[in-house]
A and B are shown apart, each in its own frame.
Chain A
Amino acid sequence: MNHDIPVDQLGPQGEIMAHAIDACVHCGFCLPACPTYALLGDEMDSPRGRIFLMKEVLEGELPLFEASPHLDRCLGCMGCVTACPSGVPYGELITSFRGWSEPQRRRSAFDRAKRGAILKALPAPRLFSAAARLGQYAKPLSPLLPTSLKSPLDLLPEHVPAMLDLPRRTPAQGPQRARVALLAGCAQQALAPNFNAATLRVLARNGVEVIIPEGQGCCGAAAMHTGARGEALKLARTNLAAFEPDDYDAILSNAAGCGAGLREYPEVLRGLPEEAAARQLAAKVMDISTFLARLSEQGGLEPFMPAKKPLKIAYHDACHLAHAQAIRAEPRALLKLIPGVSVLEVPEGEICCGSAGTYNLEQPELAAQLGERKARNVLSTQPDMVASGNIGCHTQIQSHLRRQGSPVPIHHTVEILDLAYRGEL
């Protein structure tokens, strides 16, 4: 689409935004892929509408505060990117726009404090864990609290598990097939330490040596996507120093959002001295499911113990696997390797569950509507178990399954593989 964006005044991020806006032909093919359009039915809360709004703000034709409510409602799920035939890099556009616009926004003191707290606690697993424990005690008070405070409490599991000390190095069992680095993740370490434990066991059993490099931190995706660009740059630089791509066959993530976050480093660092290093790192980043699927194709995986009885697993596509990284077939193929397992497709599978990073804290009403809808769709397949590849979806779906009175368990894909190896499936 035509625009008059003053690209030269906006720097490398301006080029990213202008390129995305150029590419949009406003055909509307993105509308049915957008969760907020599905809920609200208006143009401003659709990807096409948001692209127009960003264009108008960048051109100086529309005050930022007029566009902000609609841009804030975008989950960043990238469903529109999958649906777009013109190849509009919407994710790069909205992330860059948020980074550009955040310093100009006037937020209330409460809002600032809340955002500050989230961005401080999320990248610090021990702090997050402590906060989660504290939250557990506050849970009974939840009905008395305003929605903005209630929603994080509602998402907490009944029991916040103890943190695990992760070994710096886990040796391969048997002949070594590969050497990888693992991004340990932040909130995931506090809320679901078993994701990493299961990952280490499954990789080791398949001849993979796993290093958890010291000095690594949060991938920065949450900061990046909420517009905290300074913070995002700091975190990206920390990880560039911690992960040395040449030392590993792959840099693995077992959280969809974090994997996609690492792969975005070249965009975040566009035009900065670290851009080349960021490209090198991003090229090595792989989701755990892709890595295991490749091992499976190249020489096979250690055989799984069959499930005790036929097991129907509903697979939930995390947006940052399916839309941001185009990973759909691999996790399904892995689950199907387990004898006795059948994989079910969830209706409206391409629509986000509403977790979306910090979305369920910042837009609790919409997040809850999407969570409720996702849980309903999942249960309509009558599964014995649910699989997903992202801690955010995991927490959100689990919480909404419970709210609908369902006892169906949800596990990370790699946890299910681990259970199968142990004969506990």
Chain B
Amino acid sequence: MNLFSRKRPEKLALNTNAPVTKPRSTDAPHSPLASELTRLLGPQKVLSGLGERLNYRYDAILVGETPLCVVLPESTQDVALAVKAAKAAGVPIVGRGAASGLSGGAAPLKESLVISFTRMTRLEIFPERREARAQAGVVTLAVSEAARPHGLVYPPDPASFRTSTIGGNLGENAGGPMCFKYGVSGDYVRAMQFVDVDGEVHELRRDAYDLAGLMIGSEGTLGFITEATLRLTPPPRFTRTLMSHFPEVGQAAEAVSQAIAAGAVPAKLEFMDKACTNAVEDYLHIGLPREAEAVLLVDTDGEDLATVEEELALVESACLAHGGTVRRAADDTESAALWRARRSISPALGRIRPQRMNEDIVVPRSVLAEVVREIRALGEASGFHLVQFGHIGDGNLHPNILFDPRRESAEQVHELAYQVALVALRHGGVLSGEHGIGAMKRSFMRDALDSVTLEALWNVKRALDSQERLNPGKVLPGDADLPHQDTHAHP
């Protein structure tokens, strides 16, 4: 399937369902499923007008099919009822948080029921247990904001943390700059509630079979996380920030390896290439070094200021040793501005080309310099605008191919993305560090996994979703020819 082509037929079909004589978009439902859901949940939680459904077909990277119907549940019970109704109607279901994802995870590829969790926003903080209990639709930043008065924070910090939801973060196992020292979303889950494909509600903890771990990063293909108990931590007392820029991209990667080998454990260690730096500078105008081929942004943090400074000094000398120019943030304001720059890369790239193919590879740190250089060379040879940034501390890189679909070939973009993925795999890396596989990288999974392992994943999928009704077309390749074997509805 060509992910970048503009697809129209579904609209023609839907227009016949939405006659122009209809006076209001909130009028009577158009499909039997919408009628049933309206009966079960009431009209406020069900969207069936064309203007309402059209807006639930995309995430931050992909525009998919218009959903058949959209549900905005307010409780786990609502989710369970919606899932049961969809099962009875034989309609696939796609879960959706704030749809800021970057692999197409929340974009329906078939006419589906979309369950949007944005109204499930109940959040409780239990300071004595250092835990938060959050419904799936709670915005990520809100967890830390609620915990802070108790002297606690929720460390996972994807770039979209002001928008994205806990449910979406767990579905994609989202990371963020903090992941090098503090881990990704899944590392903070103590327990969760999920609704399975039959609409049954389960409470999972992280003991015995780690089914919660299975749900994390499953991108809504195994069930719907409706609530999670999250671990909170006290924020570090001290944080120091430095920025270093390099005349060559490989040097930055080498500096990173040396700093870590020397014993530094930075809280954040981020990399941006020249195109990223310039895109962000165009947006923020904060004096980023436009001429540098690579920029590193580093935080060290901890309870003891001397150690924090010492770690920063280790990073500084590694950068200097590899030809970097170092600038320490003078104060919190400067540090915040630099980090805002990092968070703005993704959307700021839209100023260069309207569309992009976004990779999320992770490679061993020992081969970083080589990988960065190889990808750079692939980009230059292709003639496409290829940029790289990422959480370089744990080897997580985001090579992005920027393109204009009206002037450039989507097939060639996909081919270049495939070549980039192969570079990662050849060097012992994986396809996704934090964005998920989604629809964008699904076809590369055949190269990433051997057939036995892939079959094991399919067996898990079949065990939890035998009819492939949960977020079809995501993660696992080969949905068109799902082998039919003895299956069980759910464990």
Chain A interface residues (CB < 8 Å from chain B): 1-2, 4, 22-29, 31-32, 41-44, 49, 52-53, 56, 61-63, 65-67, 69-70, 84-87
Contacts and interface: CB of A to CB of B under 8 A. Distances in A.
A23 B354 CA distance: 7
Interface string B279-294: 0000100000000000
Interface in B205-247: none
A25 B350 contact: yes
A27 B399 CA distance: 17
Given A25-B354, A27-B60, A63 B348 contact: no
Contact of B283 (A4, A61, A85): A85
A41 B119 CA distance: 6
B60 A42 contact: no
B300 interface: no
Contacts of B346: 27, 85
Contact of B116 (A42, A53, A67, A84): A42
Given A32-B162, A42-B72, A27 B116 contact: no
B163 A28 contact: yes
A43 B348 contact: no
Contacts of A63: 18, 20, 50
A79 to B, nearest CB: 13
Nearest to A106: B23
Contacts of B351: 23, 86-87
A111 to B, nearest CB: 14
A84 B98 CA distance: 16
A2 B355 contact: yes
A2 B23 CA distance: 29
B163 A1 contact: no
Contacts of A31: 98, 100, 163
User: Chain A interface mostly helix, strand, loop or mixed?
Assistant: loop
B51 A27 contact: no
A2 B18 contact: no
Given A22-B354, A69-B26, A43 B55 contact: yes
Contacts of B63: 1-2, 26
A25 B303 CA distance: 40
A84 B26 CA distance: 29
Among A28, A31, A43, A56, the one with the most B-chain Cβ atoms within 10 Å of its Cβ is: A43
Contact of A32 (B59, B60, B137, B139): B139
B54 A26 contact: no
Contacts of B72: 41-42
Interface string B239-264: 00000000000000000000000000
Given A1-B354, A62-B54, 18 more contacts: A2-B6, A23-B350, A23-B351, A24-B350, A28-B99, A31-B98, A31-B100, A42-B52, A42-B118, A43-B56, A44-B55, A49-B55, A56-B54, A66-B51, A70-B51, A84-B347, A85-B347, A86-B347
A85 B344 contact: yes
A4 B63 CA distance: 15
A86 B163 CA distance: 16
20 contacts: A2-B405, A23-B350, A25-B354, A27-B60, A28-B160, A29-B100, A29-B160, A31-B100, A32-B139, A41-B121, A42-B118, A43-B116, A43-B118, A61-B8, A61-B15, A66-B25, A69-B25, A84-B347, A85-B350, A86-B347
B47 A42 contact: yes
B348 A85 contact: yes
Given A43-B116, A66-B50, A86-B350, A26 B58 contact: yes
A26 B56 contact: no
A324 B354 CA distance: 24
A363 to B, nearest CB: 15
A27 B98 CA distance: 10
B60 A2 contact: no
A62 B50 CA distance: 7
B51 A53 contact: yes
Among A24, A42, A66, A87, the one with the most B-chain Cβ atoms within 10 Å of its Cβ is: A66
Interface in B6-49: 6, 8, 11, 15, 18, 20, 22-26, 47, 49
A29 B22 CA distance: 33
Interface in B105-125: 116, 118-119, 121
B99 A43 contact: yes
B484 interface: no
Nearest to A70: B51
A43 B51 CA distance: 10
A28 B100 contact: yes
B406 interface: yes
A52 B55 contact: yes
Nearest to A87: B351
Given A53-B54, A66-B49, A86-B347, A29 B25 contact: no
Contacts of B118: 41-43
Contacts of A85: 283, 344, 346-348, 350
A104 B344 CA distance: 39
Contacts of B20: 63
Contacts of A53: 51, 54-55
Interface string B345-387: 0111111001110000000000000000000000000000000
Contacts of B164: 28
Contacts of A69: 24-26, 51
A27 B100 contact: yes
Nearest to A46: B55
Interface in B134-151: 137, 139
B21 to A, nearest CB: 10
Contacts of A22: 354
B23 A29 contact: no
B345 to A, nearest CB: 8
8 nearest CB pairs, A to B: A66-B51, A25-B350, A85-B347, A86-B350, A28-B100, A27-B347, A43-B55, A49-B55
Contacts of B55: 42-44, 49, 52-53
Nearest to B280: A85
Contacts of B26: 69
A87 B283 contact: yes
Nearest to A23: B350
Contacts of A4: 6
Contacts of B56: 43
Interface in B422-439: none
Contact of A28 (B51, B98, B354): B98
Contacts of B137: 41
A26 B64 CA distance: 13
Nearest to A45: B55
Nearest to A24: B350
A27 B160 contact: yes
A81 to B, nearest CB: 12
Given A41-B119, A43-B99, A66-B49, A52 B58 contact: yes
Among B54, B118, B139, B356, the one with the most A-chain Cβ atoms within 10 Å of its Cβ is: B54
B134 to A, nearest CB: 16
Contacts of A24: 350
A12 B84 CA distance: 50
Nearest to B62: A26
Among A29, A31, A70, the one with the most B-chain Cβ atoms within 10 Å of its Cβ is: A29
Among A1, A67, A85, the one with the most B-chain Cβ atoms within 10 Å of its Cβ is: A85
Given A26-B60, A42-B47, A43-B55, A32 B163 contact: yes
Contacts of B121: 41
A65 B405 contact: no
A61 B11 contact: yes
A65 B23 contact: yes
A66 B27 CA distance: 10
